[in-house]
C-alpha cells in the first residue's frame, strides 16, 4: 500500500490550460448571450468557464469597440494597445488608403512612413525598429504579399477610388454629426451692385480691384446639426472699428493679404480640438491639400482628412450650396442697409464690424436642409442611415431692380442676385508658400481695455468715425425699448428666455 501511495504522489498533475478566445469568438459569445441562449450551454460550447463568460460580458463595450473600429485584427486574442496609439491609427489609415489605390506596401515603406508620422505627431523619441514593426503587423494582422502584375498595370481613376473606397472608410468610422468639411472663400464685404461693373469679366486678385476684402472660412458637419464659428481673416490686426471690444461673434485673424496661412490654420485647428475634447468627441475634418493646410501635430479629437489634389471641387460640400447661400443672404442684408441709407438721405457707412455682425446673422440663417443637400451633392452618402432631408432651401429675396428703382438707384441691368453673390468667388484665399512668413503679420495681443486697440486708418485713408461705448444705464434703457417692441409681437419662449438672459447679464456688470 505504501508503494502504491508513493507512486500516486509522483504522478504529474495535469493543469488545464486557460483557453484564449479571439475577438471574433467573443463577439459570437456576446451575440449568443444577448439572443437569450443559456450561459451554461455557451460556456460548454466554447470550452470556457462561467466566470470567463461573465468577464467577457463585463467588458462587452471594449470588445465591440475593438471589433467595430477595425483597429484590431478580429483573429487577435488580446486587446492590448500600443503606446503610440495616434501613430498606429495614422499608419493603419495610410496603409488602407494605399490598399484602396492599389499601391504595393512593404516593410521598408511602412517603417519609413511610421518614422514620418512620428515626427509629425511630436514623438521625437520614437524609432521604428524591426521588432516594433513585427509587433505592429501582428497587432493588425498585416501580411505583405507580392502585388499581382496585372493589378499594377491597370490605370485607376482617382475619383472612383476616392468615392468607392476611401470616403466610405471615413464615413464608416464616424457618425455624420462628427464629419466636417471646411472651405475658404473670399468676400468683398462692401461691394455694392453699382460697383460690380469693375469686376465683370475680370479675375479678382488680391489688392488690385478692391481693398475691402476678407477671407471667410466656413465649416459644418454632415447632418447639418452644427456649424463651426466663422473664421474671418482680415488685413488689419487692429481695425479701428474693433476698439474697446472684448469679444466678437466670429473668430478673427489678420495678415496683410487677408489669406489663410499655415500658422492661422494650425492655431484654429488647435482651438477646435480643445472644443471637441471638452465635448469628449472624436471628429474628422475634410480639407483641401494646400500648403496653407499643414498636418497639425498633437490633435487629440480631430483627424484631418485631405482631399487628393487630383479631385475636382465637386467633392467639397461647402461649394455645393452652403457658401452660395451664405453670400446671397449677406448681399441681401448689404443692399437693404444701402437702400435704407439712400431713402433716409444718409451717408452709407459699413465697417468691418458691421460685416462681421452681418455674416454672423446670415450664417445662423443657413438651414440644415441646405447643408445636408450640399453634402449629398458632394457624394457624402451616410453609411449609418439615409437622411430624411431631400430638398434644400431656395433663396428668394430682394427684387434688385424694383427695390433699387423705388429708392432712386439704378443697378446694372440683368444682374441677378446669384451673379452678384458669386463675383468675388475667384479671390485668392490661401498662401502658396509652405510657410506664411511672407504674408503673415503677428497678431497683436488684447490689452486690458479692449479686444483690439489701434489708431490705424481705414483702407481708403480716412479714419472711421469713433462712437463712444454706451454706458450700463444706456444699455438697460435700450433693452427696455427692445422688450416693449418684441412683446408687442407674437414671441416664443426661446426669445423670452433670451431677453431674460440678456437682462441678467447686463445687471451682473459693474457700472461704468
- pLDDT of 222 strictly over 90: yes
> Would you say residue 264 lies in a domain?
yes
Q: Do residue 240 and residue 129 come from a single domain?
A: no
With b for 16 or more beta-carbon neighbours within 10 A and e for fewer, the 318-343 pattern comes to bbbbbbbbbbbbbbbbbbebbbeeee
Q: What is the mean pLDDT of the chain?
A: 76
With b for 16 or more beta-carbon neighbours within 10 A and e for fewer, the 141-168 pattern comes to eeeeeeeeeeeeeeeeeeeebbbebbbe
Tell me the residue range of the domain where 130 lies.
85-144
Q: Do residue 250 and residue 277 come from a single domain?
A: yes
Chain CA centroid to CA 197, Å:
36
Determine the pLDDT at residue 47: 85
Q: Do residue 319 and residue 374 come from a single domain?
A: yes
Determine the pLDDT at residue 136: 84
Determine the pLDDT at residue 465: 52
Determine the pLDDT at residue 446: 37
Cα 45 to Cα 37, 50, 95, distances in angstroms: 11, 11, 37
With b for 16 or more beta-carbon neighbours within 10 A and e for fewer, the 364-393 pattern comes to eebebbbbbbbbbbbebebbeeebebeebb
Counted domains in the chain: 3
> Would you say residue 230 lies in a domain?
yes
> Would you say residue 470 lies in a domain?
no
CATH number of residue 309's parent domain: 3.30.420
Predicted confidence (pLDDT) per residue in 247-256, tens digit = 889 999 999 8
- pLDDT of 80 strictly over 50: no
Main-chain dihedrals φ then ψ at residue 373, nearest 5 degrees: -60, -40
CATH number of residue 108's parent domain: 1.10.10.60
Neighbours of 460 (CB within 10 A): 10
Q: Report the alpha-carbon distance of residue 280 to residue 178 in Å, rounded.
A: 11
Select the more confidently predicted residue: 105 or 443.
105
Q: Do residue 319 and residue 215 come from a single domain?
A: yes
Q: Report the alpha-carbon distance of residue 147 to residue 166 in Å, rounded.
A: 20
> Would you say residue 250 lies in a domain?
yes
The answer to whether 502 and 479 have CB atoms below 8 angstroms apart is: yes
Predicted confidence (pLDDT) per residue in 180-200, tens digit = 999 999 998 988 876 654 444
Q: Over range 146-173, report the average pLDDT.
A: 66
**Residue at which a domain ends, from 69, 97, 129:** 69
- pLDDT of 355 strictly over 90: yes
With b for 16 or more beta-carbon neighbours within 10 A and e for fewer, the 251-260 pattern comes to bbbbbebbbb
> Would you say residue 331 lies in a domain?
yes
Q: Do residue 57 and residue 90 come from a single domain?
A: no
Q: Do residue 288 and residue 415 come from a single domain?
A: yes
- pLDDT of 206 strictly over 80: no
Q: Do residue 29 and residue 116 come from a single domain?
A: no
Q: Per-residue confidence at 63, pLDDT binned at 50, 70, 90?
A: confident
Predicted confidence (pLDDT) per residue in 121-155, tens digit = 888 878 888 778 888 887 777 766 544 444 444 55
Q: Do residue 93 and residue 57 come from a single domain?
A: no
Q: Do residue 314 and residue 362 come from a single domain?
A: yes
Select the more confidently predicted residue: 459 or 293.
293
Q: Report the alpha-carbon distance of residue 476 to residue 480 in Å, rounded.
A: 6
- pLDDT of 443 strictly over 50: no
Predicted confidence (pLDDT) per residue in 389-412, tens digit = 545 565 555 565 566 666 666 666
> Would you say residue 390 lies in a domain?
no
Determine the pLDDT at residue 358: 92
- pLDDT of 285 strictly over 70: yes
Q: Per-residue confidence at 484, pLDDT binned at 50, 70, 90?
A: confident
Q: Do residue 415 and residue 274 come from a single domain?
A: yes
Q: Do residue 63 and residue 110 come from a single domain?
A: no
Predicted confidence (pLDDT) per residue in 410-428, tens digit = 666 666 777 777 777 778 8
> Would you say residue 78 lies in a domain?
no
Q: Do residue 56 and residue 98 come from a single domain?
A: no
> Would you say residue 455 lies in a domain?
no
Determine the pLDDT at residue 500: 80
Amino acid at each position: 500500500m505504501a508503494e502504491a501511495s508513493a507512486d500516486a504522489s509522483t504522478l504529474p498533475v495535469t493543469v488545464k490550460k486557460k483557453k484564449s478566445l479571439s475577438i471574433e469568438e467573443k463577439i459570437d459569445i456576446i451575440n449568443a448571450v444577448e439572443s437569450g441562449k443559456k450561459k451554461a450551454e455557451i460556456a460548454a460550447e466554447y470550452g470556457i468557464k462561467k466566470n470567463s463568460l461573465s468577464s467577457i460580458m463585463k467588458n462587452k463595450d471594449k470588445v465591440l469597440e475593438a471589433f467595430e473600429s477595425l483597429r484590431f485584427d478580429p483573429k487577435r486574442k488580446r486587446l492590448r494597445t500600443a503606446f503610440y496609439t495616434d501613430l498606429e491609427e495614422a499608419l493603419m489609415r495610410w496603409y488602407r488608403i494605399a490598399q484602396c489605390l492599389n499601391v504595393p506596401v512593404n516593410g521598408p515603406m511602412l517603417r519609413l512612413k511610421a518614422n514620418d508620422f512620428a515626427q509629425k505627431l511630436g514623438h521625437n523619441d520614437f524609432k521604428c525598429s524591426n521588432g516594433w514593426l513585427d509587433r505592429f503587423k501582428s497587432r493588425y494582422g498585416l501580411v505583405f504579399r507580392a502585388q499581382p502584375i496585372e493589378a499594377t498595370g491597370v490605370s485607376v481613376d482617382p475619383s472612383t477610388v476616392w468615392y468607392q473606397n476611401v470616403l466610405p472608410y471615413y464615413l464608416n468610422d464616424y457618425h455624420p454629426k462628427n464629419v466636417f468639411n471646411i472651405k475658404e472663400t473670399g468676400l468683398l464685404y462692401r461691394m455694392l451692385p453699382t460697383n460690380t461693373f469693375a469686376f465683370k469679366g475680370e479675375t479678382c486678385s488680391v489688392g488690385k480691384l478692391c481693398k475691402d476684402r476678407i477671407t471667410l472660412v466656413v465649416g459644418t458637419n454632415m447632418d447639418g446639426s452644427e456649424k463651426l464659428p466663422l473664421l474671418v481673416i482680415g488685413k488689419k490686426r487692429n481695425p479701428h472699428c474693433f476698439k474697446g471690444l472684448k469679444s466678437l461673434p466670429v473668430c478673427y485673424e489678420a495678415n496683410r493679404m487677408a489669406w489663410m496661412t499655415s500658422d492661422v490654420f494650425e492655431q484654429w485647428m488647435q482651438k477646435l480640438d480643445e472644443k471637441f475634447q471638452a465635448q469628449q468627441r472624436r471628429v474628422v475634418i475634410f480639407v483641401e491639400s494646400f500648403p496653407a493646410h499643414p498636418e497639425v501635430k498633437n490633435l487629440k479629437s480631430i483627424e484631418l482628412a485631405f482631399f487628393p489634389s487630383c479631385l475636382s471641387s465637386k467633392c467639397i460640400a461647402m461649394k455645393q450650396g452652403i457658401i452660395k447661400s451664405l453670400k446671397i443672404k449677406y448681399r441681401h442684408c448689404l443692399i437693404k442697409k444701402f437702400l435704407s441709407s439712400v431713402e433716409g438721405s444718409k451717408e452709407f457707412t459699413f465697417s468691418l464690424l458691421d460685416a462681421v455682425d452681418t455674416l454672423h446673422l446670415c450664417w445662423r440663417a443657413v438651414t440644415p436642409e441646405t447643408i445636408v443637400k450640399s453634402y449629398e451633392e458632394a457624394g457624402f452618402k451616410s453609411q449609418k442611415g439615409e437622411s430624411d432631408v431631400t430638398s434644400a432651401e431656395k433663396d428668394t429675396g430682394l427684387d434688385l431692380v424694383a427695390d433699387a428703382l423705388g429708392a432712386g438707384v439704378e443697378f446694372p441691368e440683368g444682374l441677378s442676385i446669384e451673379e452678384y453673390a458669386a463675383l468675388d468667388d475667384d479671390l485668392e484665399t490661401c498662401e502658396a508658400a509652405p510657410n506664411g512668413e511672407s504674408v503673415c503679420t503677428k497678431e497683436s495681443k488684447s490689452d486690458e481695455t479692449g479686444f483690439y486697440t489701434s489708431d490705424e486708418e481705414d483702407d481708403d485713408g480716412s479714419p472711421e468715425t469713433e462712437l463712444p461705448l454706451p454706458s450700463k444705464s444706456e444699455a438697460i434703457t435700450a433693452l427696455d425699448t427692445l422688450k416693449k417692441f418684441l412683446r408687442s409681437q407674437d414671441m416664443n419662449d426661446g426669445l423670452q428666455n433670451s431677453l431674460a438672459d440678456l437682462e441678467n447679464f447686463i445687471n451682473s456688470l459693474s457700472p461704468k
